[in-house]
């Protein structure tokens, strides 16, 4: 049977007598304002289960565990739908109630509706994708005016 480097490292840690022998060095930490997705990625890349959170001076302010961070991504479809409709479409983009249909299944958000401007559709898709717990977006949004196309200014002659 072959022993991997990871198994050798775990076996060596099990034989340790001091905390210094057990710890990951240098310490892998996160700042209090770091995005959850970045912290999860770092923990996965470094195969660590706990991430000390330190302030700008390096003082420990808490510890985030895998479980803490994964809870953010294990949100109900109803919670995600509420965030899209209330926070993104309502609070941020100020879209009219009923302008967007939002369905969520297994973290996949389906957006449908007709918006006044294309920029609103693009913003809705991007902001929805940034919500923790959203796995993917399927968009069937349409718009009345494509305001992303550069238009000639009134003083320039059309070519």
d(CA 76, CA 95): 24
| 91 and 40 assigned to the same domain | no
Determine the longest span between alpha carbons in the chain, in angstroms: 80
| 65 and 91 assigned to the same domain | no
| 69 and 82 assigned to the same domain | no
d(CA 143, CA 159): 27
Q: Report if residue 156 sits inside a domain.
A: no
Q: What is the pTM of this model?
A: 0.56
Residues near 39 by Cβ (< 8 Å), separated by ≥ 6? 30, 51, 64, 69
Q: Angle 16-21-27 (CA atoms, 0-180°, nearest 5)?
A: 145
Report CA torsion sign: 31, 36, 38, 39: positive
| 69 and 111 assigned to the same domain | no
| 25 and 61 assigned to the same domain | yes
Residues near 138 by Cβ (< 8 Å), separated by ≥ 6? 108, 109, 110, 111
The mean pLDDT value for 64-78 works out to: 84
Q: Report if residue 45 sits inside a domain.
A: yes
- Give the model's pLDDT for residue 133: 85
- Count of alpha carbons within 13 angstroms of residue 141, beta-carbon side: 28
Residue 157 confidence (pLDDT) above 90 = no
Q: Report if residue 107 sits inside a domain.
A: yes
Which of 73, 97, 121 is a domain's end point? 73
Which of 23-32, 116-125, 136-145 has the least mean pLDDT? 23-32
Q: Report if residue 159 sits inside a domain.
A: no
| 138 and 114 assigned to the same domain | yes
Percent of the chain at pLDDT > 90 equals 53
Nearest to 80 by CA among 147, 129, 113, 13: 129
């Amino acid at each position: 049977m072959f022993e991997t480097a990871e198994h050798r490292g775990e076996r060596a840690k099990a034989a340790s007598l001091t905390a210094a022998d057990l710890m990951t060095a240098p310490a892998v930490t996160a700042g209090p304002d770091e995005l959850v997705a970045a912290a999860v990625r770092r923990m996965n890349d470094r195969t660590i289960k706990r991430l000390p959170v330190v302030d700008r001076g390096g003082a420990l302010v808490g510890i985030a565990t895998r479980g803490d961070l994964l809870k953010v991504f294990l949100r109900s479809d109803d919670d995600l739908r509420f965030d899209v409709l209330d926070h993104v479409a309502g609070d941020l983009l100020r879209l009219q109630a009923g302008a967007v249909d939002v369905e969520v299944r297994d973290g996949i958000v389906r957006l449908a509706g007709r918006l006044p401007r294309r920029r609103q559709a693009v913003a809705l898709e991007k902001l929805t994708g940034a919500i923790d717990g959203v796995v993917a977006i399927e968009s069937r949004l349409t718009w009345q005016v494509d305001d992303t196309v550069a238009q000639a200014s009134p003083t320039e002659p059309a070519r």
